[in-house]
Structure 1
Amino acid sequence: MEQFQLVLQSALDALPTLLRATPTTLGFALAAMLLGLPLGFLVALSRLSRFAALRGISSVFVSFIRGTPLLVQIFVIYYGLPSLGLTLNPVAGGVIALTLNAAAYLSETIRAAILSIPKGQREAATSLGLSGSQTMRLIVLPQAARVALPSLSNTLIGLVKDTSLVSVITVVELLRSAQLVIARTFEPFGPYLAAALIYWVISSLLELVQRALERRFARGATA
């Protein structure tokens, strides 16, 4: 019982420090999502392009990012690029790595959502005189957004957890903040437990937002 109280007290003592680092974690996740979404959309369109070169380049990008660990990608960008003459600060390196990783996964979500729209709807739009861009903007994308929403939300939740990896390049986000507390107190259980609970609360809140948006989109689809 005494040991449990010590762990609980160490978690409570670490909580203010961890909460101060939480906006950094959220900032990285949101930045990667906001930057990765348009990039992922472009990659998805490239994979659907009739030009073989675009399909090939985008396919290799997606395959490489999805086939290698995010931690390795962070190391390549932050520690590897300086050997080529490009030095990035930890924040820029972390955001770029998370953005590229998110873009690859988002592109597959977007591509699958676009392909899920029946081809007949595109043909009907063409017969009505709509251009390809108008068909995409007015017919395909609104429906694809509803299809992709759960996966997009899951990607954001995953990004919140993936931000812990930028701690290896000295970014003081949630996990790194816990490690710094542990270095002072030599008590690992409490700070790590507090950090895990914060990640859990953030993910749970995002899931609630996701469900609310899904219900709203569902009502819009049946209206």
Structure 2
Amino acid sequence: MQFSILTDYFGTYMEGFRGTILSSLIALAGSFLLGVLIAVFRITPVRALRWFGTGYVEFIRNIPLLLVVYIFYYGPSAFGMSLDGFTAGTIGLSVYTSAFIAEALRAGIAAVPKGQTEAARSSGLNYVQTMIHVILPQAIKLVIPPLGNQFINLIKNSSVLTIVAGLDLMYFADIVNSDTFRTFDTYVFVALFYLVLTLPLSYGMRVWERRLQR
């Protein structure tokens, strides 16, 4: 192991590290909000929305992440627009992860006793208010472990941005590797940077789960 690679190219690694953090944070927020919306669509009494939610989840979950990113990277050119690699990759990452979050939340919503919905509606809350104030808070608490796994997977999956020059950690690691020709050493240090992100998140989700259980 040549630790001089890490010290000599620390600035390059950090530039990619910042890109990965920014992409992951945006995708975390975007995928969670979109996932909540799609999960509600999947159990709504409105048939058209329910069909849309089901179709969205089944389509996105059964195609590769790379293809989703390509859709947002190359697709807009058909309409005379273009997205840079970072934007297209982050949107693709958000959309892909949202399908898995939606499915986890749907299972959580189904696990909430139906009496909760009936009690909320009888007290005067409409469907949206019932979801926001009664059902979703309970459902999210039930599915914290799978949600945490999806968030960790999102951070690791952010490496797909390198395929579209998304200025992430892997993209800059490729630059370091092309300069040093020390492939193993270069990517071992990349693994350490990813661990800096995923291990605290994993620990934080476990702490949050224990607090909610109490």
Is TM > 0.5 for Structure 1 vs Structure 2?
A: yes
Q: Quote the Cα distance in structure 2 between the aligned partners of 1:188 and 1:27.
A: 25
Q: Which whole-Å deviations, capped at 9, do the CAs of 1:182-213 have from their partners, x for residues lacking one? A: 11111111111100121123111111111111
Q: CA deviation at 1:166?
A: 0.6
Q: Quote the Cα distance in structure 2 between the aligned partners of 1:49 and 1:133.
A: 10
| Aligned counterpart for 1:72 among listed residues 67, 73, 81 | 67
User: Identity percentage over the alignment?
Assistant: 35
| Aligned counterpart for 2:176 among listed residues 162, 174, 181 | 181
Aligned position for 1:204: 199
Contact 2:141-2:212 within 8 A present in 1 as well: yes
| Aligned counterpart for 1:51 among listed residues 31, 46, 51 | 46
Aligned residues: 214
Q: 2:36 is aligned with what amino acid?
A: F
Q: Quote the Cα distance in structure 2 between the aligned partners of 1:74 and 1:125.
A: 40
Tell me if 1:62 matches 2:53.
no
Unaligned segments of structure 1, at least 5 residues: none
Q: Quote the Cα distance in structure 1 between the aligned partners of 2:73 and 2:128.
A: 38
Tell me if 1:139 matches 2:124.
no
Q: CA deviation at 1:15?
A: 4.0
Q: CA deviation at 1:124?
A: 3.1
1:55-204 aligned at under 5 Å gives the runs 55-204=50-199
TM-score, reference length from structure 2: 0.91
Q: Secondary structure at the match of 1:17?
A: helix
Q: CA deviation at 1:69?
A: 0.5
Q: Quote the Cα distance in structure 2 between the aligned partners of 1:136 and 1:74.
A: 31
Q: Secondary structure at the match of 2:45?
A: coil
TM-score, reference length from structure 1: 0.88
Q: Quote the Cα distance in structure 1 between the aligned partners of 2:179 and 2:112.
A: 56
Q: Quote the Cα distance in structure 2 between the aligned partners of 1:46 and 1:96.
A: 20
Q: CA deviation at 1:97?
A: 0.6
Q: 2:97 is aligned with what amino acid?
A: A
Q: 2:73 is aligned with what amino acid?
A: Y
Q: Which whole-Å deviations, capped at 9, do the CAs of 1:14-57 have from their partners, x for residues lacking one? A: 44421232121011111011112121111111111222221222
Contact 2:35-2:100 within 8 A present in 1 as well: yes
